[in-house]
Structure 1
Amino acid sequence: MWDELREVSVRRWALLGLAFCVLMIMVALGLEHLADLEPCPLCIFQRVAVLAAALVFAIAAIHNPEGRGGAFVYGLLGLLAAAGGIGLAWRHLWLQSLPADKVPSCGPGLDYMMDMLPLQQVISQVLTASGECADISLRFLGLSLPGWTLIGFVLLALIPLGMLLSLIRARRSGYRWMDVPPAD
């Protein structure tokens, strides 16, 4: 199995990651437009994390670096984007787990904040006090949407981890991380 993992190209890893990101965004947009579920500010931030990962994977697929250094950089950036999404989804779940009297008050809408406040203050306000994010609008198989999003981000993180693990395996086989993989 490890030998097959080492031989998977950066482009294949990246296309797999990009396809998963597209699937996550399609589900989010479907829930918004077909099920009429309005996304809260944390939901929107989670979409931004998916789009950031998609951008990394799209650039990696186009670039398809032959050296191991490119795979390392794209793997690390993809992992950072997925980790950001995991943190946001975790925060969202935490807000939903609070008792009603402990939920922060709802602030102004995200559109209003984006128009009136600097970006740094908008991010800070959404991450610290978004009472509307504590509402559970839908459960599927016992999990709320942020729970499913957390699972999606964990699965997404496996793709750049696969890139990075293939580099570790290649290095243990005697190749330096900057070498071009051998032609079979």
Structure 2
Amino acid sequence: MIKKDNIDKPTGYYLFYTLGGHGFCAPIECVEVVLGAATPTAMPVREKGFLGVLQVHEQLIPVFSGFELLGLSPIPLDPSQRIIVFNGSKTVFSDSENIQNVGLLVEDIIGVASVESYKHYRLNFPASDTEEYVSMFIDEQNQKYIHLPLAKYFEKISLQKDIYELINNAERTILKNE
């Protein structure tokens, strides 16, 4: 179900990106940094879409494939891809005791823009049993971008504590060796 919605229209700046040829966006205040594609260090964890960890600003962060989390076929790393590092304190894990930044491998970055000039619609979230909506923005060229709340990326997987324990242990080891 699609509803045109200008009453609850989000405002502000968003980072626009693509995954599998589809457009997505996220509020810019949730983005810590955008990196070029890098090969994460593999870890002995087999969660859906989990690629490994990267060291970013002296912190090890888990990196997930946005392709796999959205049910798309896994694809090999390519230099044109990007990793968006989302600020854990402003996104998915804000209620967690261990606030953790999270990396998401995406196809490409379109840019940053204010959503003020975009048409806004609300879409019923198909995987939900409740009346849950996500925002869709349409630009002047009729390109569609879905603002899928970041928690939706991760709700199908359980970010088990062992991922964070591995990361925390690795961070302690790095600090001891410096």
Give the TM-score normalised by the residue count of structure 1. Answer: 0.29
| Structure number with higher helix proportion | 1
Structure scoring higher RCO (CA < 8 A, sep ≥ 6) equals 1
